[in-house]
Amino acid sequence: MPQNALPRSRGRARSGRGGGTKTAAAKPAPAGGLRRDVFVVRKGQRGAGVHLIIDLHGARRLNDIEHIESVLRRCADAAGATLLHVHLHRFQPDGVSGVAVLAESHIAIHTWPEAGYAALDVFMCGRTDPDRCVPILRAAFSAKRVDVNELLRGRLG
């Protein structure tokens, strides 16, 4: 597969903790190298994916690793993404960092419970809708303020 081609799994493979990851075969790249099904159009611009930088302020449940995993799974599902794996780490005394690896990229989270703050990256390509993660995050963490910055990654043309 050419270096600039981004693979995309078909189907909604899921994996539990400690289980094997199931993935479907990726569709081969067309002649010319660029896969049309992974690129996105946002505000009239074509790119490799949409990257939302999300800051949650006045948030709760930021040290609850089971809750965080559930929220990441709900975000992936709501966005129409294919979840491959979730890996989270709880720091002592407080804080969680982790990632939900998606066939369409990732959702990463880093929390500072003592400050009521969480930083998230939601990066997705293909036929997903990363914006659907924002209301889920707001509600799940009871955030008083949510700041969202958007980047179109890999602009083409």
In the chain, where are the structural domains located? 49-153
| Distance (Å, whole) CA 85 – CA 22 | 10
Of 51, 75, 125, 133, the catalytic one is: 125
Q: What is the pLDDT of residue 1?
A: 34
pLDDT in tens, 111-152: 999 999 999 999 999 999 999 999 999 999 999 999 999 999
Are 79 and 128 spatial neighbours (Cβ–Cβ below 8 Å)? yes
Vertex 27, ends 24 and 30: CA angle to 5°? 170
Q: How confident is the model at residue 157 (pLDDT cuts 50, 70, 90)?
A: low
Please indicate whether residue 142 is annotated as part of the active site.
Answer: no
Please indicate whether residue 110 is annotated as part of the active site.
Answer: yes
pLDDT in tens, 35-58: 556 788 887 888 889 999 999 999
| Distance (Å, whole) CA 51 – CA 84 | 18
User: For residue 99, is pLDDT > 60?
Assistant: yes
State percent of the chain over pLDDT 70.
76
As its CATH architecture, domain 49-153 has 4-Layer Sandwich (3.60)
Of 105, 106, 133, 142, the catalytic one is: 105
User: For residue 22, is pLDDT > 90?
Assistant: no
Please indicate whether residue 75 is annotated as part of the active site.
Answer: no
| Distance (Å, whole) CA 39 – CA 47 | 6
Q: What are phi and psi of 145, to 5 degrees?
A: -140, 140
Q: Which of 24, 21, 27 has its CA nearest to residue 6?
A: 27
CA distances in angstroms from 153 to 2, 4, 27, listed in the order given: 19, 13, 22
